[in-house]
Chain A
Amino acid sequence: MIMTANAPILALHEVAFRYPDGSVGLDGCSLAIERGSRTAILGLNGAGKTTMFLHLNGILRPQSGTVLYDGAPLDYGRHGLHKLRSRVGLVFQNPDSQLFSASVREDVSFGPMNLGLDAQVVRERVSAGLDAVGLTGYADKPVHNLSFGQKKRVCIAGVLTMQPDVIILDEPMAGLDIAMQAEFTRILDRLHAEGLTIIIATHDIDFTYHWADTITILAKGQCDATWEIPQIPAALDRFASYGLGIPHVAELHNTLMKLGVLDNGTGYPRSHQELVDCLNGLHASP
């Protein structure tokens, strides 16, 4: 693969894919993911999110259109896919569909072993991967004795040990309680701070508004809209038209602006806490 300066790290160009039963996976979908960005893909069930992710990892091959990594079309040869999958990690929604071994250490080592790395290097990566997701000391535990959230973290560790540039997470918050979601957000923040490009599919609009840099709406296999987070408050009506819900903070902030309680000087709070801080700041100022 030839690296192109300033090109998006991943891109889809007019990608179309239909499953053998005739159902549409992607239908002329175009999208660009910038290096180091946090992108949330939103869409109703069956919109094509998982299909898109399988294309980005080279598991599915577009029937028309092109998938690009670092500005170059994907090489679907054995060597090209090996290289792509070591750079683009994919974490599936259901951890039980991803975990092979009954031992945490073994499962986390699966990816780097497939890269043909030396056992000592794999050992160090496994240790670092488990550290990164807060599972230090769990290496010798059996996978089936872990909680759902811990299994999800093992899945992420298994991908991190391959040291990818991009990590794609399909519904990472599904099935997690509030505390685990907060812990997960911290893990994602840490990974982003380390320079990873993160793409997630989610139905949690408020989390997305708080966490992501860019939101892309996927509808009927097409990337229908892409917004930077600061553009969202002005586009709430269109956002709402997709039936995905709207960020409550943005809606409340807009209302407070209309009522004259807040003005443009307060910026755009992205979480409930930031909005509360804005209001408290208003009250504190003379």
Chain B
Amino acid sequence: MLIEQCAYSNSWRLVSPAAKGLFAACGIVAAFLATSPRATIIPAGIMLAATVLGARVPLRHYLKVALPELVFLAMGVATLAVSVSWDGHIRFHMAGQPELHNIARICGRSLCSITSLLFFCLTTPMSDIIALLRRLGFPEVFLDIMTLGYRTIFVFLEAIHDTTTAQAARLGYATPRLAMRSLGILTANLTMQVWQRSHALHLAALARNNDGPLRFLGGEFRHPERNVCVAAIGGCLLMVLALTGI
């Protein structure tokens, strides 16, 4: 829940999500416009700086969130750069210069895209992102599923915590065999809860006059137009930097 924690506590929490989304989108576009691997590193660095220095997301938290993506990227790059063959002995083959250049470009693009997405999701709570997508005209069903899915993550995390604690208190995880059995019971229990809670949510929606898509009031943000203008200018600069490779 580190992403959640950062999204609610960063200093750009009340900056318009449209502005942050626009800036992040420009970062992703810049990644694809970049003419050289080096040119992707500059927008990626700016995105990192905007997140850590601008929005004041702690670097420690940033690196923790980024670690799985970076490990995934490193593994991908390694498998592209080095191939392994077997002719009685294991042989490692390094990719040639032109391939390495391409790999570096893919790596740079990925890095720039990752930092752009991290900027957006570490500075903007999911409910603001969903509200933004609603304003952008995304399909209602998709957004309703996102809203309920996101909300129920926390409800079921609590249910899982309560159930596993109750099981552990009765030695439910004392041996691997008992742990497997407890996990099975937990799964069965959660399945029932999903059904019961979805029914309860349906009743609650009816009680509050809902008869279709879930409708909510959007958040209030300071100077949204000004923020979007600043984000657009910043985004354009990112793209220019990527194009010129300065």
List residues of chain A with CB under 8 Å of any chain B CB: 54, 57, 59, 78, 82, 85-86, 89-90, 92, 94, 96-103, 105-107, 109-115, 119, 122-123, 126, 140-145, 158-159, 162
Contact = CB atoms under 8 A, between A and B. Distances in A.
Contact of B154 (A59, A89, A144): A144
19 contacts: A54-B203, A57-B207, A59-B207, A85-B209, A89-B208, A99-B151, A100-B147, A100-B204, A100-B205, A103-B216, A106-B131, A106-B217, A140-B219, A142-B8, A143-B151, A144-B151, A158-B208, A159-B208, A162-B209
Contact of A59 (B14, B203, B216, B220): B203
A110 B215 contact: yes
B151 A102 contact: yes
Contacts, number: 110
Contact of B214 (A94, A98, A110, A115): A110
Contacts of A142: 4, 8, 125, 127
A111 B209 contact: yes
A126 B208 contact: no
Interface of B: 4, 8, 13-14, 125-128, 131, 147-148, 150-151, 154-155, 158, 197, 200-201, 203-211, 214-220
A181 to B, nearest CB: 22
A259 B200 CA distance: 51
Given A143-B154, A144-B151, 12 more contacts: A85-B208, A94-B200, A97-B201, A98-B204, A101-B147, A101-B151, A110-B215, A111-B209, A113-B216, A119-B217, A123-B217, A142-B127
A122 B155 CA distance: 27
Contact of A109 (B8, B126, B204, B217): B217
Given A94-B200, A140-B219, A103 B127 contact: yes
Contact of B207 (A78, A90, A106, A122): A90
A76 B201 CA distance: 21
A100 B197 contact: no
A113 B215 contact: yes
A105 B210 contact: no
Interface majority SS on A: helix, strand, loop or mixed?
A: helix
A96 B216 contact: no
A122 B217 CA distance: 7
A114 B210 CA distance: 6
B151 A100 contact: yes
B119 to A, nearest CB: 20
A162 B208 contact: yes
Contacts of A162: 208-209
Contacts of B127: 101-103, 106, 142
Contacts of A106: 127, 131, 216-217, 219
Contacts of B200: 92, 94, 97-98
Contacts of A110: 208, 210, 214-216
B160 to A, nearest CB: 13
Given A96-B197, A106-B131, A109-B216, A86 B209 contact: yes
A31 to B, nearest CB: 19
Query: Which 4 pairs between the two chains have the least Cβ-Cβ distance?
Result: A109-B217, A97-B200, A144-B154, A106-B216
Nearest to A99: B151
Given A57-B207, A59-B207, A111-B208, A96 B217 contact: no
Contacts of A111: 208-209
B125 A100 contact: no
A68 to B, nearest CB: 19
